[in-house]
Every structure is written in structure tokens, then in C-alpha cells.
Amino acid sequence: MAKATEIEENNDFEMGNPYYCKECKRNHTKGKIYKEHLNFAKFENGDDENNLDENIKLNNDDYDDEVELIEAFNENDNQENKIEVENQLEDDLDLDREVDPNIGESLKECINAVKKLPGVGEATLNKLIKAGFSSLESIAFTPPKIIQEESGLGEKTTEKLIKSSMEQLHIGFKSAEDVWEHRKNIARITTGSQELDDSLGGGVETGSVIEFFGEFRTGKTQIMHQLCVNVQLSEENGGLEGNALYIDTEGTFRPERIIQMAEGLDMDHKKVLKNIIFGRAYNSDHQILLIKEAANLIKERNIKLIVVDSLIGHFRSEYIGRGTLANRQQTINSHLHDLLRLCDIYSDLAVVVTNQVQAKPDVFYGNPLQAAGGNIVAHGSTIRVYLRKGKGEQRIAKIVDAPHLPEADAIFSITENGISD
Ligand code: GTP
Ligand code: MG
């Protein structure tokens, strides 16, 4: 396997290959990034914003241990030690071990589903789990080449595994009845503003990718924060009693803001923070990888909301110049389809993304601003909300291109306690 640093120089990063992380100044490989970057936000009130990175720490000892183990494994070229570490890793994969009871139960459930796939014996199961494929979703989603490389399984076996995982998850053709069943499961998360909820037909709906786009400071990030809190509310209060996964590409996630919002709703802010799984994406490849790995976490961690803030930022800054446009659009398209596929599988999962606007120079009448990313994003997301500034705290939202939703403007405010009317 080539060294990640070499890969960076050669500039031919491929999914599943070692990935050199500039922030950590070390290599990551598939299945391991999460343990390091996808930390729980653990933050005490009144902490300095500059200490954010230090304060967002893993609060799950289990994962801490795993990181250490993997680090040792990566850094150790000595064969004897390697075997020792490998054995320890195997012990750690003991399905009956004591882990956080909540995580343990759902992880076991996921692994059991993999175990039941035709042709999966003890050896195959071990290889899969060790390579980080502990759920049907992760197998169905990952390109076969990566599964083969990571797990050491053969081409035929991998093909069969993917096919039967997809069947189990009902990916592919389905009857209208199944589609109806899926639609019936759609639920909604309140935004905190009645008016905005009404314009969305009752709140942010699950089973769709919803895009909030607008100029800077129009409240996109604030809405994302609020949804992460609100998704945890009980159903009668407008939530889904679920957890949130926050992919931050701009470094604007603020736990202290979450605390304010949670307190505004009389919720225990410690619990609220613990239920938001946070991942900082440092570049577009990293962002794509995080979403691919998210497939593994949704069931395990009862995730009901995925936030990507912002969807296009990295792509915009990395693919510069006309010549790269086709390539960029193709990559964004495939990234969006990863998100859409998650919604297809989990009817009780909402995916919300933000998008910047860019000036469209050839528009002389009407609004010259349009969402970045062009048609691809427009066609990929199911519901699009355009945000603009009003007076003071007020913001105005308009639903774009959704024939089943009202055209009227919704006015909401960004207050100390978060989003409200
Ligand atoms: P970009 O990411 O720069 O494109 O902007 P954005 O659309 O994500 O804006 P964001 O959600 O960060 O909104 C910023 C606005 O929210 C600020 O202009 C403030 O008006 C408001 N805001 C942010 N934090 C607070 C807060 O703690 N209290 C109050 N009252 N308002 C806040
Ligand atoms: Mg923002």
C-alpha cells in the first residue's frame, strides 16, 4: 500500500486509500477517521471559543481505546507487536463485550444482520467487522473495490455480499405500495418558527434532502444548530426523539450556541450536546468519506438528522477554473446521491444542507443571486429554501421549486434562544 504522504504529492487520492490529514499531521484510513474527528461535542458553558478544538473531545472511552489501538497498529511496523495489537483488536471485537449499553445494543443488532447474510461464516464476519463494515448499510454503500481491499475478501464474495445487503435493505425497484409505506413514515422536525414550519408543510420533513441557501449571515448555520436541538424533542413537541450528525465544513459549529438553544427549550444541555455527533470535514474528499461512513452510524446511534454545513464550500475552493467544472459537478452529483440514498433507505431520517449563493452575472431582471453548485444541486435536493435578510433579527424564507408547498414568504427571527417567529 502506498504511503498517504506520497499520495498527497501525487494528488491521486482514491476512496479507501490512506489519506493524509493536514490537521492531524498524520495518516487516516477508512473506518478510522470517525473515531478521531467525529467527536461528541463536550463543552461547558462559558468556555472560550478559541479552546473549541480542545474542548470537543471524545467522551466515549470505548472509542478512545480503539483510536489508541489503531494508532499503535498504524505506527508499528514490528511484526510481533503487530500481531499482538491485532489480537487485542480481535478481543475488542468480542460481540458480548461491555460497551455503552445503548451503542452496544444497536451495534449488536447491525452485526447480527450482517451475520445472517447468506454465505457469511465466522471468518468472513470477522474480516468484515475488522475492516469497519459492521452493518448492511456500510456494505451496500461502499464500492466493491474498497471492501475487497480493506477486508481481504474475494471479488465474488464481495459482490454477493453487496447484492444481498441491497436486497435486505430494499434498494432498487420497489412496488408503489412500498413507496407509499415509505411516504407514510415521513415525520417532521420543527424549525422553532411556526411560520417557517407552515411554509415547509409542517417542518423539515424526513426522507428528503432539504437545502437552505442564501447570502452570508442569513441564518443558515443558526437553523442547522436549532434543528440539531429540536430533533431531540419528543414527537408532541415537534421532534423525533433522535440524535443528530453534524458535518461542519466551515468550522462554524458552536457548542455554546447549542447550549443557549437547549436552555431556551428547557432541555438538559449536557444531554443535548452528547446527542450531537460532530464531524469536521477538512476538504471535499474528507467530506465525501464522512458521509459514506455515516451509513454505519445511523442505526447504531439513532441518528434522525444529518446536517452538512456547507455542502459546496470545499468543492468550490478546490476545483478552480473552467476546465475543472465537469469534474466538480460529477463529484458533487455523486456526493448528493449518497445523501439521497440515505433518505431512501431511512424514511425517518432528515438530511439538511446549506448552500452559499453566487452572483449570476447574466441576470438583469429579478434576483441575480442563485445557489452555488448549479443544476446538479437544484435537481438533487428535494426541497429548497431561499433565505434573505429582513429588518434586524428578522429573516425571510421562500420555498423555491416545490409545487406542493405555498409560495408565500415566511418571516422568522434569530433570537438569543434560537430560531422563533
Ligand atoms: P454564512 O455561513 O456566513 O454564509 O452565514 P449563515 O447564513 O450561516 O449565517 P448564520 O447562521 O451564522 O447567521 C448569523 C446571524 O445569526 C448573525 O448575523 C446574527 O444575527 C445571528 N446570531 C448568531 N448567533 C447569535 C446569538 O448568539 N444570538 C443572537 N441573538 N443572534 C445570533
Ligand atoms: Mg454559516
Q: Which ligand ends up closest to the CA of 254?
A: 1
Give the position, in ligand 1's atom list, of the atom nearest the Cα of 393.
Answer: 20
Whether residues 227 and 367 fall in one domain? yes
* In a domain? residue 51: no
pLDDT tens digits for 305-348?
A: 999 999 988 988 888 776 777 778 788 888 888 898 888 888 88
Whether residues 127 and 95 fall in one domain? yes
**Once rounded to an integer, what is the mean pLDDT over residues 369-384?**
61
* In a domain? residue 287: yes
Give the position, in ligand 1's atom list, of the atom nearest the Cα of 219.
Answer: 11
CA of 85 to the centre of ligand 2 (A): 42
The set of protein residues with a Cβ atom below 6 angstroms from ligand 1 is 214, 216-222, 252, 257, 356, 414-416
Q: Given the C-alpha cell 514490528, which residue does it identify?
A: 78
Give the position, in ligand 1's atom list, of the atom nearest the Cα of 218.
Answer: 7
Q: Is the pLDDT of residue 177 over 50?
A: yes
pLDDT tens digits for 2-43?
A: 444 444 444 444 444 555 655 555 565 544 444 444 433 223
Whether residues 90 and 197 fall in one domain? no
Of 142, 169, 196, at which residue does a domain stop? Answer: 169
Of 100, 135, 169, at which residue does a domain stop? Answer: 169
pLDDT tens digits for 279-301?
A: 999 999 999 989 888 887 888 88
Whether residues 282 and 202 fall in one domain? yes
Peptide bond before residue 165 is cis, with ω within 30 degrees of 0 = no
At 192, give phi and psi (nearest 5°). 105, -20
Whether residues 190 and 139 fall in one domain? no
CA of 89 to the centre of ligand 2 (A): 40
Whether residues 193 and 211 fall in one domain? yes
* In a domain? residue 136: yes
Of 124, 148, 169, at which residue does a domain stop? Answer: 169
CA of 216 to the centre of ligand 2 (A): 7
Residue nearest to atom 28 of ligand 1 (CA): 416
pLDDT of residue 242: 96
pLDDT of residue 307: 97
Report long-range pairs for 228-231 (Cβ below 8 Å, ≥24 apart).
Answer: 228/258, 228/276, 228/305, 228/307, 229/258, 229/261, 229/262, 229/265, 229/267, 229/272, 229/418, 230/189, 230/190, 230/191, 230/192, 230/265, 231/189, 231/304, 231/305, 231/350
Whether residues 83 and 221 fall in one domain? no
CA of 400 to the centre of ligand 2 (A): 20
Mutate to test the pocket of ligand 1, among 221, 308, 369 (most ligand atoms within 8 A of CB): 221
Whether residues 327 and 267 fall in one domain? yes
Counting DSSP H helices and E strands in the chain, the numbers are 19, 16
pLDDT tens digits for 187-230?
A: 999 999 999 999 998 999 998 889 999 988 999 999 999 999 99
Distance, CA of 181 to CA of 380 (rounded, Å)? 22
Distance, CA of 290 to CA of 25 (rounded, Å)? 18
Lowest-pLDDT range, 32-46, 69-83, 212-226, 380-394?
32-46
Mutate to test the pocket of ligand 1, among 217, 369, 386 (most ligand atoms within 8 A of CB): 217
pLDDT band at residue 390 under the 50/70/90 scheme: very high
Strand 19-21 relative to strand 26-28, pairing: antiparallel
Report, in angstroms and rounded to the nearest whole number, the Rg of the chain calculated over CA atoms.
Answer: 22
Give the position, in ligand 1's atom list, of the atom nearest the Cα of 414.
Answer: 31
Portion of the chain with pLDDT greater than 70, in percent: 68
Q: How many domains does the chain have?
A: 2
**Residue that wins the pLDDT comparison between 82 and 184:** 184
CA of 63 to the centre of ligand 2 (A): 29
Q: Is the pLDDT of residue 173 over 80?
A: no
Mutate to test the pocket of ligand 1, among 193, 252, 317, 414 (most ligand atoms within 8 A of CB): 414
Give the position, in ligand 1's atom list, of the atom nearest the Cα of 212.
Answer: 7
pLDDT tens digits for 231-282?
A: 999 999 999 999 999 999 999 999 999 999 999 999 999 999 999 999 999 9
* In a domain? residue 339: yes
Whether residues 267 and 308 fall in one domain? yes
Give the position, in ligand 1's atom list, of the atom nearest the Cα of 225.
Answer: 11
CA of 205 to the centre of ligand 1 (A): 23
DSSP character at residue 266: T
pLDDT of residue 404: 74
Distance, CA of 263 to CA of 271 (rounded, Å)? 11
**Residue that wins the pLDDT comparison between 93 and 315:** 315
Whether residues 165 and 188 fall in one domain? no
pLDDT tens digits for 155-168?
A: 999 999 998 988 88
pLDDT of residue 99: 42
- Specify the CATH number for the domain of residue 72: 1.10.150.20
Q: pTM for the whole thing?
A: 0.68
* In a domain? residue 214: yes
Whether residues 329 and 183 fall in one domain? yes
Mean pLDDT of the chain: 76
Q: Which three cell numbers stand for residue 325?
A: 467544472
CA of 346 to the centre of ligand 1 (A): 31
pLDDT band at residue 371 under the 50/70/90 scheme: low
pLDDT of residue 419: 96
Residue nearest to atom 1 of ligand 1 (CA): 216
pLDDT band at residue 145 under the 50/70/90 scheme: confident
Q: Given the C-alpha cell 473506518, which residue does it identify?
A: 31
pLDDT band at residue 137 under the 50/70/90 scheme: confident
Q: Residue 369's domain spans which residues? A: 178-420
* In a domain? residue 315: yes
- Specify the CATH number for the domain of residue 398: 3.40.50.300
Q: Given the C-alpha cell 452528547, which residue does it identify?
A: 274
In the three-class reduction of DSSP (H, G, I as helix; E, B as strand; rest coil), residue 282 is classed as coil
Whether residues 251 and 391 fall in one domain? yes
CA of 220 to the centre of ligand 2 (A): 5
pLDDT of residue 31: 42
* In a domain? residue 354: yes
* In a domain? residue 233: yes
